[in-house]
Chains A and B, each alone.
Chain A
Amino acid sequence: KQEVTQIPAALSVPEGENLVLNCSFTDSAIYNLQWFRQDPGKGLTSLLLIQSSQREQTSGRLNASLDKSSGRSTLYIAASQPGDSATYLCAVFVSGTYKYIFGTGTRLKVLA
């Protein structure tokens, strides 16, 4: 059964730091992996989607990589800002079932 883990569960960094959030999954049979951002009391906003045949995707200060063989993805945030404070979630779209499995998220706080 597919399981998705995100480490660390919470992270606090000073403004300006580059940081890496981790996502690991147990079964490499996925169609894609998606990173989301969730602000308190809000829905999820899609940040980046990496198809299973891709290695990375970039959007502005965000870069996500995917290593299917090792079951890992990382979200790199460059030059962090207080506005980046949110919970970041990853999710895999499971091959054959068309189900989504989410990690429990990393709660990020960027201090001014």
Chain B
Amino acid sequence: EAQVTQNPRYLITVTGKKLTVTCSQNMNHEYMSWYRQDPGLGLRQIYYSMNVEVTDKGDVPEGYKVSRKEKRNFPLILESPSPNQTSLYFCASSTMAGAKNQPQHFGDGTRLSIL
């Protein structure tokens, strides 16, 4: 079954404790992306990757890191989490055909609470 898998689904942690949210897709997609969703602000893109070893900032990259060492995986790293990073996070992937990418497939989300 084609899917985007995020782990963990829920996490409560404390300020400053490094954490990683994993994202894996089994569709051989080139494009992968991380979003955060906050009430009243909608979905905002954090980072995206066009392919292995190619990443770029979205609209809200501050406080986050990513890596793309393998095509299927795109982890989101919070080196020193702060309470303002409490949010619902989504990973998504899609295939690229030149500039005309195909529909994004989304994971089920990770609800992150930082105390």
| Residues of A in contact with B (beta carbons under 8 Å apart) | 31-32, 34, 36, 42-46, 49, 51, 89, 91, 93, 95, 97-105
One of B12-20, B63-71, B94-102 at the interface: B94-102
Q: Are B104 and A101 in contact (CB under 8 A)?
A: no
Are A49 and B41 CB-contacts (below 8 A) given A42-B108, A43-B107, A43-B109? no
Are A43 and B90 CB-contacts (below 8 A) given A49-B103, A100-B33? yes
Q: Add 19 more A-B contacts to A91-B43, A100-B35, A104-B41 (CB < 8 A).
A: A31-B99, A31-B101, A32-B100, A32-B101, A34-B103, A44-B106, A45-B106, A46-B103, A89-B43, A93-B101, A98-B31, A99-B45, A99-B48, A99-B59, A100-B33, A101-B45, A102-B42, A102-B44, A105-B42
Q: Are A101 and B59 in contact (CB under 8 A)?
A: yes
| Residues of B in contact with A (beta carbons under 8 Å apart) | 31, 33, 35, 40-45, 48, 50, 56, 58-59, 90, 92, 99-109
Q: Are A98 and B56 in contact (CB under 8 A)?
A: yes
- Return the contact of B105 from the options A31, A46, A101, A103 (Cβ within 8 A): A46
Using Cβ atoms and an 8 Å threshold, which residues of chain B touch A99? 45, 48, 58-59
A8 to chain B, nearest CB (A): 15
